[in-house]
Structure 1
Amino acid sequence: MAAQVNLDVPTCLVKELGISHDDYPGGYKSDEINNGIFLTWKDLWVTVPEKAMAGVEGRRPILAGVTGYAEPGEVLAIMGPSGCGKSTLLDALAGRLDSSTRQRGDILINGRKQALAFGTSAYVTQDDTLMTTLTVREVVHYSALLQLPDSMSVPDKRKRAEQTIKEMGLQDAVDTRIGGWSVKGLSSGQKRRVSICLEILTRPELLFLDEPTSGLDSAASYHVMSRIIKLARQDKRTVVVSIHQPSGEVFELFHNLCLLSSGKMVYFGSASAANEFFASNGFRCPSMRNPSDHYLRTINKDFDVEIEQGFHSLITATEAIDFLAKLYTSSGANHQVQQRLQQIVGLKNREPLEIMKEKHAGLATQCLVLTRRSFVNMYRDLGYYWLRLAIYIAVCVCVGTIFHNIGYSYSSIQARGSMLMFVAAFLTFMAIGGFPSFVEEMKIFSRERLNGHYGVAPFVVGNTLSSIPYLLLISVVPGIIAYYLVGLQKSFDHFAYFALLLFACMMLVESLMMIVASIVPDFLMGIITGAGLQGMMMLCGGLFRLPNDLPVPFWRYPMYYIAFHKYANEGFYKNEFEGLKFEEGVGCGGMSRSIGGDEILRSVWQVEMGYSKWIDVSILFGMVAFYRIMFFAIIKGVEKIKPMIRRYICKFNRAVHIE
């Protein structure tokens, strides 16, 4: 049976964390805790689909009957080699497994089966997906306005944000931008602490962190983990961390250790007692070696090298894993875990946990905050609209000089049509240039939505409202240059319609690219997909092939009426040609002949004249609304579609790798 080990933090760490030894007991008895969350799991199995022999789909276990617990005021570290199931265990405890997995076993909160709502638990992913154009203060303040309820005043929300920034030691970097490809900003460790800030604004009693030290050096890892330890101690928070290979200093901070390999429990108990467990079973940690390195080297079967057991025998890593897993099930450490589980289950006699601790901000508040945040991001991100504006101006100068003062001769009919066709096709096509920036915003939305900060509707509304001023700008300014250099109809009403129609086309293409981004999150594949869709619409939109010449099946019906270029083209043509007269030449009697714009629309461009140009622009705005609603619906349903795709892929791939 394992000996009892003192769990006190080393003196050098106690001083830095501001914790006295008297305030650092080795554990809690059930009658000593009046608040906090006790999380337990017993005989937990998680399986995923796998193609078995003869094409029959089977199930592969990722977790095989693991048992453990996490207590208030303590940090539980889940460790193991790559593919051992530590992230799967974390996701199972947090309720984030997708529908392709199957879970069996009991996960209890204070001895009860109950769900944890927003504000009671939080999950910090290993990817620091943050808005790179904002400062630390702005990122945390906007998040506080989104997450904290409307019952809190704005000054109180800002006070909470400032307090959280100080808790994570970021007060010296509050006015520093997060930083990205265009601007150097925070270090990796600071970004990780900002990510933690966003999830602890609601003061959650249960905190999950997936690889919080991933990609950090030992110094940054220590500072991040020391802040997490302090959070756990100050407010009796229950903290569960999955971590790959911590340094010796970081390992000393952990209270309990859950060691996994190939989905099996190799050890669970006091982190400081793990050394004795390994040593007593023949795997003594050499002096001057990091204990966590020694454990992972012993139970890593990827290379399956021979490991020294005791002084004379050698066994493979696979044998060592099976050996340690069997010994653990019959060890005193496992017996202590079972006893502690029974004590915690006795807590179910207490009052149930108040799971609805806090509510979100209201829908109107979230829409306004997201609109403002997105507007600021678009203003500071050069690639979102400003680069496109510069390109549009350059292109429109080229168009204006090539078609300068086009006149009203018969030859100007074709020139007018070509110029308007270029505007309807190329300028709207260039709207895909902002796709990479929108994909980054989608990644932030995905993380914040998964963590319960807000829903799909506020994001769609916020993105739509914030983009309107910029789309108007890149429609009007280049439009003025092209319109008046070419010498189109000179009345302001005609130019206003021209700019409005161009704005509708820009907004429609952005809406289309939003749909693409929701399905194809990779920006390179998304640009290719969006370009392909627009190219197909151009071909059948009446630009390169007149409507009556299109093949009737598919291209004329229904693609011609689905393509927005049809309505853009018709709107531009009607706005320009209606009411004009073009000199066709001198007839046999010496009289000049002219042809009316309406006749050109019918006979030359084959435009449908049964409705006005305002119907065309109305149809385009209707398509904008339809695409935005479609984007909303896809986002709502994508969580059900993706697991189906994964299951389909699994039929052709037997090797399933889950971290």
Structure 2
Amino acid sequence: MDSPNNLSRSTPLAHPTRTLLLKFNAKHINDQSETPTPPTDEDEINTNIDQQHHNYYIPELEADDVPFYNSASSTNTPLRSPPHVSCLQTPSIRLYGSGSKRSRSVKSELTESRFSRREERQDDSQAAGIYVTWSELWVTVPVKNGGRRPILQGLTGYVRPGECLAIMGPSGCGKSTLLDTLAGRLASNTTQSGDILINGRKQALAFGASAYVTQDNTLMTTLTVFEAIYFSAQLQLPDSMSKLAKRERAIMTITDMGLQDDMNTRIGGLTGGQKRRVSICIEILKHPQLLFLDEPTSGLDSAASYHVMSRIIKLAQLDKRTVIASIHQPSGEVFDLFHNLSLLSSGKQVYFGATSRANEFFASNGFPCPSTRNLSDHFLRTINIDFDVDVEHELGGSIISATKAIEILVNAYTSSEAHQQVINKVSEICEKNQVTLKEKEGQAGFITQCQVLTKRSFINMYRDPGYYWLRLVIYIALCLCIGTIFHDVGHSYSSIQAIGSMLMFTASFLTFMAIGGFPSFVEDMKIFIRERLNGHYGVSAYVVGNTLSSAPYLLLICIIPGSIAYFLVGLQKEFDRIVYFGMLLFACMLLVESLMMMVASIVPDFLLGIITGAGLQGMMMLNGGFFRLPDDLPDPVWKYPISYISFHKYACEGLFKNEYLGLTFPNEKVGGPPTITGEEILKNYWEMEDYSKWVDLSVLLGMVVLYRLMFFGIIKALEKFKPVVAAWISSWRSESEDNSATPEVGSSVRRVRTFSLFDCSFHTVDVTFRE
């Protein structure tokens, strides 16, 4: 049969498929005379993905309707490409009979992004990849007596592009510390010495070159898989990329991790393994060449663990990515997926090398793995000193303790040829792969970040009933109670106290119920901390986005319940007074939301946060001028300055002035005037200052801005001082610990020079080791 380029003019052109295939082939086939090359591994993988999820059927088509029609095929047979374009893929378009329309689904977007995916992978494959080496790596933490205790002791190793290194060991052996050290995430109270080289050089990890996936699936459960990843793509990818390109990148990443069938499923309805894959998708959107995984299989069953790790390692091999994963106790299938193994115990290197030779190393030193036991289980059981169980040593024909077994294995590895090969390999990598990392394009701009965060938070608040909707229902119910209890309160002498009680309770209760949304605030802060550590966006963009997204819901909460209470009670009906009532309640709601966000940033536990927030509001409420008149508050603390920083004071004064001014009440006091005005009530009865009610509203709005700025400052301060607090806590805890069991190294003071991968600078530290 003639090729598409040589078809005669009499070839039928009625069906749109012909035009599509002609354009398709003309674009991707430049020289028909070249010998077809066999498909690469990448083509095979893409073909398998597309064949698995995209089958294209032709219902009732004649031979003249479709070029390259195979007369032996029947209807409902997948559309096949001609032989000379077997490596190419047919676009995802459903074909119907003559005159029918073509339907396109979300899966067609997956197919449309295949060629951009292939181009991106070709660009990534042209890069040399990232080689990471470390030699004589020590990490120490301070102890109370002024010395330092080693956490990692003289580790040496490497990891190459296209490979996955597993860091294994019992709990407390230093797995996470080693991972954080290589990723440049060590806390400021730790001291690091030794060399960590990127491509044979001491250089900072360029932006977008690495990603870190934590072991906790901290995600917005109200978003769908596609929404979560697409929002993250808009935040991480630069503004120079179009929205369509970012969308295609998100779809491509979803497909790579095998989540294309769950794109429209909310994250809250996913399994643990699927949530873990979503977390990984979010961090690999920028195509990082270096990927750190902290306990990627934690909390997953063996099947889910295998699917997660197999996807990661397949991507690593396909795109030449370097993967370092700390893992606790993998199954046999997962263990076989790793290329190299770094086995630690008490911060010491028990073994480093190929996973396939680890069993040989243990067997040669008298600890063979029984045929009925998993290799990883055997390794961890042999080197676990938590219970110090007895271990059978075949070479000596005796039973020894786990501590003695670790000593035998550490000494055997240190003096083995495998250890020397690791040292030689590190030197070889450093000599041959001295490549400077190229920084990728930066993240999205500030305006884009604010827009995306506002939209994402707005959707999350809309779908989470515990954020605002439950509060709205409670507010409506309570305002109905207020309206019926104070219904048509009137303007009698007894109404003076009743109106004041109603206004104060309305303002106090609406603001106090903000603590009901505190669990959602805490979850938001957890997501922010994870995304902030990974450099997705800045603190200012988060504060702006959180403020703008919550404002419409708070306004709704103020309008509906506030209107119910206002009109049932029978307050003044002038339009400006009604607007002022709503504006003041809205300012109070914004202010108390800011206060609770500050508490959430300091107190991450929602129960302690609720107690703290309730205590702060209770203290301000007592000094608001209702329960205790301003002139009766004790000096100097409660009146100055507490009453003046209490927003209840300004809320109470504003609401009272808005209602009492312009009213006249009968005076039932003997010997007094027959009537009493609202001005006199404010001055003599409630002891309020005589400035305008708009001043109170302005003060509240100013406090909203101040509290939001304080929220911003607290987050920035915590980023700087939290490690210092952690260092103090670590020292305090170490005071009561028995450090004699920890082997110390030397008794002298060594001045070490450390290098930070993040700020690309050197630090000189005196490290004291005590016996």
TM over 0.5, shorter chain? yes
What pairs with 1:552-571 in structure 2 (closer than 5 Å)? 552-571=635-654
The 1-side partners of 2:715 and 2:136 are apart by 35
Residues 1:373 and 2:453 aligned together: no
Match of 1:410 in 2: 493
Question: Which of residues 561, 580, 596 in structure 1 aligns to 2:677?
Answer: 596
Match of 1:84 in 2: 173
Larger radius of gyration: 2
Contact residue 100 and residue 647 of structure 1 kept, 8 A: yes
The alpha carbon displacement at 1:357 in A equals 1.3
What pairs with 1:266-281 in structure 2 (closer than 5 Å)? 266-281=350-365
SS at match of 2:667: strand
The 2-side partners of 1:641 and 1:388 are apart by 35
Contact residue 200 and residue 435 of structure 2 kept, 8 A: no
Match of 2:35 in 1: none
The alpha carbon displacement at 1:492 in A equals 1.6
Residues 1:166 and 2:250 aligned together: no
Per-residue CA deviation, residues 487-545 of structure 1 (Å, 9 max, x unaligned), is 11111210110011001011100000111011101111001000001111111121210
Match of 1:22 in 2: none
- Aligned pairs, how many? 619
Match of 2:504 in 1: 421
SS at match of 1:467: helix
Per-residue CA deviation, residues 43-63 of structure 1 (Å, 9 max, x unaligned), is 111111223xxxx23321110
Per-residue CA deviation, residues 589-625 of structure 1 (Å, 9 max, x unaligned), is xx9821100010000001110x211110111011111
The alpha carbon displacement at 1:646 in A equals 2.1
Match of 2:367 in 1: 283
Residues 1:436 and 2:436 aligned together: no
The alpha carbon displacement at 1:117 in A equals 2.9
Match of 1:26 in 2: none
Per-residue CA deviation, residues 306-348 of structure 1 (Å, 9 max, x unaligned), is 1111161221111111111111111111111011111111135
Question: Which of residues 701, 708, 712 in structure 2 aligns to 1:621?
Answer: 701
Match of 1:177 in 2: 266
Match of 1:247 in 2: 331
Question: Which of residues 311, 316, 327 in structure 2 aligns to 1:227?
Answer: 311
Question: AA paired with 2:229?
Answer: V
SS at match of 2:391: strand
Q: TM-score, normalised by structure 1?
A: 0.92
The 2-side partners of 1:477 and 1:16 are apart by 54
Match of 2:599 in 1: 516
What pairs with 1:307-386 in structure 2 (closer than 5 Å)? 307-310=391-394, 312-347=397-432, 350-354=434-438, 356-386=439-469
The alpha carbon displacement at 1:583 in A equals 1.6
SS at match of 2:288: coil
Question: AA paired with 2:239?
Answer: D
Contact residue 17 and residue 230 of structure 1 kept, 8 A: no
Change (3 A) 1:47 1:612: same
Residues 1:39 and 2:132 aligned together: yes
The alpha carbon displacement at 1:18 in A equals 7.9
The 1-side partners of 2:226 and 2:642 are apart by 49
What pairs with 1:513-592 in structure 2 (closer than 5 Å)? 513-585=596-668
SS at match of 2:699: helix
SS at match of 1:252: helix
Match of 2:288 in 1: 204
The alpha carbon displacement at 1:118 in A equals 2.6
Per-residue CA deviation, residues 342-371 of structure 1 (Å, 9 max, x unaligned), is 1111135x44121x1121011100100000
Match of 1:643 in 2: 723
The 1-side partners of 2:164 and 2:255 are apart by 21
The 2-side partners of 1:488 and 1:496 are apart by 13
The alpha carbon displacement at 1:643 in A equals 2.0
SS at match of 2:337: coil
SS at match of 1:652: helix
SS at match of 1:302: coil
The 1-side partners of 2:46 and 2:443 are apart by 35
Question: AA paired with 1:339?
Answer: N
CA RMSD of aligned residues (A): 2.0
Question: Which of residues 396, 401, 404 in structure 1 aligns to 2:479?
Answer: 396
Contact residue 162 and residue 321 of structure 2 kept, 8 A: yes
The alpha carbon displacement at 1:586 in A equals 9.6
What pairs with 1:482-521 in structure 2 (closer than 5 Å)? 482-521=565-604
Change (3 A) 1:398 1:627: same
Question: AA paired with 1:139?
Answer: A
Residues 1:447 and 2:527 aligned together: no
Match of 2:320 in 1: 236
Contact residue 57 and residue 651 of structure 1 kept, 8 A: no
Question: AA paired with 1:118?
Answer: F
The 2-side partners of 1:318 and 1:448 are apart by 40
Per-residue CA deviation, residues 172-198 of structure 1 (Å, 9 max, x unaligned), is 11111011xxxxx00000000000000
Match of 1:156 in 2: 245
Per-residue CA deviation, residues 386-422 of structure 1 (Å, 9 max, x unaligned), is 0000000001000000000011111100000111110
The 2-side partners of 1:38 and 1:15 are apart by 25
The 2-side partners of 1:38 and 1:420 are apart by 67
Contact residue 587 and residue 593 of structure 1 kept, 8 A: no
The 2-side partners of 1:293 and 1:436 are apart by 39
Residues 1:633 and 2:713 aligned together: yes
Contact residue 205 and residue 238 of structure 1 kept, 8 A: yes
Question: AA paired with 1:572?
Answer: L
The 2-side partners of 1:187 and 1:587 are apart by 75
Question: AA paired with 2:140?
Answer: T
Contact residue 492 and residue 666 of structure 2 kept, 8 A: yes
SS at match of 1:57: coil
Contact residue 199 and residue 435 of structure 2 kept, 8 A: no
SS at match of 1:64: strand
Contact residue 147 and residue 454 of structure 1 kept, 8 A: yes
Contact residue 206 and residue 437 of structure 2 kept, 8 A: no
Question: AA paired with 1:407?
Answer: G
SS at match of 2:205: coil
Question: Which of residues 142, 157, 164 in structure 2 aligns to 1:49?
Answer: 142
The alpha carbon displacement at 1:650 in A equals 2.7
Q: Once superposed, which parts of structure 1, at least 4 consecutive aligned residues long, lie more than 6 Å away?
A: 14-19
Per-residue CA deviation, residues 3-57 of structure 1 (Å, 9 max, x unaligned), is xxxxxxxxxxx999989xxxxxxxxxxxx99610000111111111223xxxx23
Change (3 A) 1:585 1:44: same
SS at match of 1:651: helix
Tell me: higher relative CO, structure 1 or 2? Use CA pairs within 8 A at least 6 residues apart: 1
Contact residue 467 and residue 520 of structure 2 kept, 8 A: yes
The alpha carbon displacement at 1:428 in A equals 1.0
Per-residue CA deviation, residues 282-308 of structure 1 (Å, 9 max, x unaligned), is 111111321111100110011111111
The 2-side partners of 1:34 and 1:462 are apart by 37
SS at match of 1:535: helix
Question: Which of residues 175, 184, 191 in structure 2 aligns to 1:95?
Answer: 184
Change (3 A) 1:656 1:517: farther
Match of 2:156 in 1: 67
Listed as ranges, the gaps of 5+ residues in structure 2 are 1-43, 50-124, 743-771
Per-residue CA deviation, residues 624-647 of structure 1 (Å, 9 max, x unaligned), is 111111111111110232222222
The 2-side partners of 1:592 and 1:601 are apart by 16
